[in-house]
Amino acid sequence: MSTARRRVMAGNWKMYKTQSETRAFFAAFLPMIGDAAHCDVVMAPPFTSIAAAVEAAKGSRVAIAGQNSHWQKEGAFTGEVSPQMLVEAGCTHVIVGHSERRQYANETDDMVSQKSRAALAAGLTPVVCLGENFTERETGKTQEVLSQQFIGGPGALTAEEFSRILLAYEPVWAIGTGRTATPDIAAAAHRFLRQCVRDQFSPEAAAGLRILYGGSVKPDNIQGLMAQEELDGALVGGASLDPKWFAAIVNTK
């Protein structure tokens, strides 16, 4: 089944890299990935480096993403950026509902669904993130949390909207901690999420959805993760900052 799903390798730079650092990254990175024909490659720089990334990635197959966008087209929302603004800047994707935004900017499942809908309406592909935290996993609440985040977030989209998103399973306990989920743990969560999609939408929607894994993905664990049929790619934080490391991840077959 997964052979029909094209792999996506995405980087999330978070609050790292100035414009000049962005140009230096792409100058080193692009020659190392060749045409990367076996997967889609996406990079999400901070807003101020998007223009530099779009320019540097021109003519390559690397798509550029925003790390967040608002649910309105415009308005009195100081500090926010609309999906239309990202499109005009050259983005094709946007990360929605990252756990750091849920944690530090109080993003709710309802905001995640509104933001996803607005991004889709603007023509962006949302990369919708969800995942349980350490306590939730330790107390056996993983499935409950995932199902809640799913139903209130991407599960609230229409079937047509849903068919155009990417999902990212990012267990909070694995983000930036070096504690990657084992391939089996990640696959079990992906399988559960696919079941949620089946229940909410259809078997076809579940079979077609690409689910990325995120949380301490590194060149030395990517192979084991990608060997799992359930994992359709990765959303990489720290290791996407280094052109050699991210190229090694992208080049994994």
> What is the set of active-site residues?
98, 170
Minimum CB–partner distance for residue 98 and ligand 13P (Å): 6
Minimum CB–partner distance for residue 237 and ligand 13P (Å): 2
For residues 245 and 159, what is the distance between their CA atoms, to the nearest angstrom?
A: 36
In our burial notation (b when 16+ CB lie closer than 10 A, e otherwise), range 211-227 reads: bbbbbbbbbebbeebbe
CB-closest chain residue to ligand 13P:
237
Residues 134-193 that bind ligand 13P (CB under 6 A): 170, 175-176
Q: Which residues contact 70 (CB under 8 A, 6 or more apart)?
A: 77, 80, 81, 82, 83, 115, 118
Q: Which residues contact 106 (CB under 8 A, 6 or more apart)?
A: none
- Choose one: 28-36, 105-113, 202-210, 234-242; the region binding ligand 13P (CB under 6 A): 234-242
Q: Is 127 in the site for ligand 13P (CB under 6 A)?
A: no
The sign of the dihedral angle between the CA atoms of 155, 113, 213, 66 is positive
For residues 145 and 166, what is the distance between their CA atoms, to the nearest angstrom?
A: 19
Q: Is 216 in the site for ligand 13P (CB under 6 A)?
A: yes
Give strand pairing partners of 40.
8
Check residue 46 and report its DSSP letter.
-
* Closer CB to ligand 13P, 91 or 236, in the complex: 236
Residues 6-35 that bind ligand 13P (CB under 6 A): 12
* Closer CB to ligand 13P, 102 or 206, in the complex: 102
Q: Where are the beta strands (DSSP E) in the chain?
A: 7-12, 39-44, 62-66, 93-96, 125-130, 166-169, 211-214, 233-236
* Closer CB to ligand 13P, 101 or 206, in the complex: 101
Number of residues that bind ligand 13P (CB under 6 A): 14
Q: Pick from 235, 248, 249, 250: which binds ligand 13P (CB under 6 A)? A: 235
Cα diameter, the chain: 48
* Closer CB to ligand 13P, 65 or 85, in the complex: 65
Q: Is 237 in the site for ligand 13P (CB under 6 A)?
A: yes
* Closer CB to ligand 13P, 56 or 172, in the complex: 172
* Closer CB to ligand 13P, 83 or 237, in the complex: 237
User: How many beta carbons lie within 10 A of that of residue 244, not counting itself?
Assistant: 12
For residues 40 and 34, what is the distance between their CA atoms, to the nearest angstrom?
A: 13
- Choose one: 31-39, 134-142, 191-199, 210-218; the region binding ligand 13P (CB under 6 A): 210-218
Helix, strand, coil % in the chain, rounded to nearest 5: 50, 15, 35
Q: Is 68 in the site for ligand 13P (CB under 6 A)?
A: no
Q: Is 238 in the site for ligand 13P (CB under 6 A)?
A: yes
Name the site residues for ligand 13P (rule: CB under 6 A).
12, 98, 170, 175-176, 214-217, 235-239
